[in-house]
Structure 1
Amino acid sequence: MNNRAVNNDAKSSNTDRKTVDNSTTPLLNVHDLSVSFTQYTRGLNQKELKVITNLNVSINHGEILAIVGSSGSGKSLLAHAILGILPANVIISGNMDYKGVSLIPKIQAELRGKEIALIPQSVNFLDPLMKVGKQVRSSVNNGNATKIQRNIFQRYNLEDKVDHMYPFQLSGGMTRRILVSTAIANEAQLIIADEPTPGLDTGIVNETIRTFRELADKGCGIMLITHDIETALKIADRIAVFYAGTTVEIAPVEDFSGNGNNLRHPYSKALWKALPHNDFRPIMGHQPPPNRLPKGCLFAPRCDKATVECHDILPKASSLRGGMVRCIHAS
């Protein structure tokens, strides 16, 4: 099936998925999350390196939220914070709730790999000493594990012999298909997919996003972390734009269209216009590293609309036209 057909399938199911869950409580709610790492400098002095600052994001039942942004913007760190798999030198503040319950370490351990599943960016998450078929079967919580695993493999064009292979015997594309298979086999309520499609051919990419759409239509929440805005546009309900460790905008997918005039934040608009099918206009400058964050708006040094106030104050997140934005000039 071609890309246009996939997009049409996703659009046709938008109406149906809104009736899956009428709960007013988000499946996942992250509010004012900040993440820092304690580091030792010369002379065994300690310093804190803040990599996420006042980040807000939420996912509803039956929703696909795509998270986009350049490398280093905090996308994967957010995923690891939700799952509770950050290193011991981490300092976390803010709130993370799953179904209204705070994600404290004990709860994270109980949910991880069961109700909350990760499709990781790194292929190293597979057990190198276990055959991949067994790894997928071990993630099945309900039903005939062998039948479920074989059906998933067939869906992703993985031959029967792959069942008995070890991770080192797989190609990069096959490994990513195994990672996707492992996550969808356990019937998780929240799936965090961190760059799940690089290295896959168009057919498998389309099959993967169709699977995500089907899972969302059944009530699951999907967090799709990606650099590929084009893929996100095919299936996402909303898109969250990250920059330098915070959320600068969350918008309905429909706002990413035309000239981007419906977008709220200058960075979102610049990101949209940088795409090849738009103006293909590069964004001048560079995203600041965590140890050199500006005092005020994180995008101010690159923004042609920045004023003195932008350089002095970090804007608060505010609701605007059915979305969220962190910019004092947004309208």
Structure 2
Amino acid sequence: MLTIRDLSVGFRRYRGLFRHEETSRLSGLNLTLDAGEVLAVIGGSGAGKSLLAHAILGLLPPNAVLRGKLAFRGQALNPVYPPALRGRKIALIPQQVSHLDPLARTGAQMSWAARRSGSAADTTARLAALGLPPQVAQLFPDQLSGGMARRVLLAMAEAGAPDLLIADEPTAGLDPENRDAVLRMLGEHARRGAGILLITHDLKSVLPIADRVAILDEGRMRGIEFPRNFTGRGAELTSSYARDLWRALPENGFLTDA
């Protein structure tokens, strides 16, 4: 479904009037994502996770320099505006709930998203599927809890049943109950045949729904692992960086080889 080959992203900036330099932020990334698969991309702040999402979606700023190949269902993605987006085949769950319009009620925003995707705008049914009462449709974004807002963003992204759903830190700031609810919904979307690119820093929580885990660090891919290998002291992990990351979690005793 999604193929990424030798992807690099840098940014040009001027030094003086005529000279410019390029700073690299992603370098030599190779990834594939199949239909029905959840691929978790794990990394700390500044690792390049959101930048990867923006590169796929064609949301890079004018001074960005993109190299390599991005293809969706065999069709090359234009780095300025991917053609697949016009058919709502790719959707994004943004990292910040501030992407919701503060001046519009939740139900209206869900209806707009449905109409843009060409699907039925049954707001009550969508809210019920997310475990939310119909009264939520009358609320403004600042009246929603963090968990409610995340689920509304998920409902808007799912409108039109996109083939590829990119979830950028969809559980950030959520309590365990709401976090697990959002992750279950993403897993259900994958079981209906969509590919899920799940971007997060929370390794432990995504292991139950992920099919593979890609480890990103300072713009470079440090390994791609199977969730079942994140157990014990991580002896089955193929990447030493993934092993150190796993061992350093609080529940694993903050252990490292250092």
TM-score clears 0.5: yes
Partner of 2:209: 235
Distance 1:83 1:59, change over 3 A: same
Moved more, 269-278 or 161-170: 161-170
CA deviation vs aligned residue, 1:210-261 (integer Å, no higher than 9, x gap): 2222211121100111111111111000000001101110112222222111
Selected match of 2:199 from 211, 215, 225: 225
CA distance in 2, matches of 1:112, 1:192: 16
CA distance in 1, matches of 2:54, 2:162: 16
Selected match of 2:47 from 62, 73, 89: 73
Mapping of 1:97-246 within 5 angstroms? 97-105=71-79, 108-111=82-85, 114-140=88-114, 141-146=117-122, 149-246=123-220
CA distance in 2, matches of 1:68, 1:214: 20
Q: Please give the root-mean-square deviation of Cα atoms over the aligned residues, in Å.
A: 2.1
Partner of 2:62: 88
SS in 2 for 1:97: strand
Q: Whose relative contact order is higher, 1 or 2, with alpha carbons under 8 Å and at least 6 apart?
A: 2
SS in 2 for 1:272: helix
SS in 2 for 1:46: strand
- Residue 28 of structure 1 and its aligned partner are, at CA, apart by 0.3
- Residue 101 of structure 1 and its aligned partner are, at CA, apart by 0.8
Q: Which runs of 5+ in 2 are unaligned?
A: none
SS in 1 for 2:222: strand
SS in 2 for 1:258: coil
Moved more, 265-274 or 113-122: 113-122
- Residue 35 of structure 1 and its aligned partner are, at CA, apart by 0.3
Larger Rg: 1
Distance 1:96 1:283, change over 3 A: farther
CA deviation vs aligned residue, 1:73-129 (integer Å, no higher than 9, x gap): 111100010000111111100000101110014761541681111111122222333
TM-score (norm 1): 0.72
1:252 aligns with 2:226: yes
8 A Cα contact 1:35 1:51, kept in partner: yes
SS in 1 for 2:32: strand
Distance 1:201 1:150, change over 3 A: farther
- For 1:259, give the aligned amino acid: R
CA deviation vs aligned residue, 1:31-89 (integer Å, no higher than 9, x gap): 11000111123556311111000011110011000010111111110001000011111
Mapping of 1:17-36 within 5 angstroms? 27-36=1-10
8 A Cα contact 1:64 1:223, kept in partner: yes
Distance 1:113 1:282, change over 3 A: farther
- For 2:42, give the aligned amino acid: V
8 A Cα contact 2:38 2:190, kept in partner: yes
CA distance in 2, matches of 1:270, 1:97: 32
CA distance in 1, matches of 2:30, 2:45: 18
- Residue 282 of structure 1 and its aligned partner are, at CA, apart by 5.7
CA distance in 1, matches of 2:48, 2:8: 10
Mapping of 1:311-322 within 5 angstroms? none
Over the matched positions of the two proteins, sequence identity in percent amounts to: 42
Greater percentage in strand: 2
8 A Cα contact 2:84 2:90, kept in partner: no
Partner of 1:268: 242
CA distance in 2, matches of 1:215, 1:103: 23
Q: Which runs of 5+ in 1 are unaligned?
A: 1-26, 285-331
- For 1:248, give the aligned amino acid: R
Partner of 1:305: none
CA distance in 1, matches of 2:134, 2:228: 41
8 A Cα contact 1:113 1:139, kept in partner: no
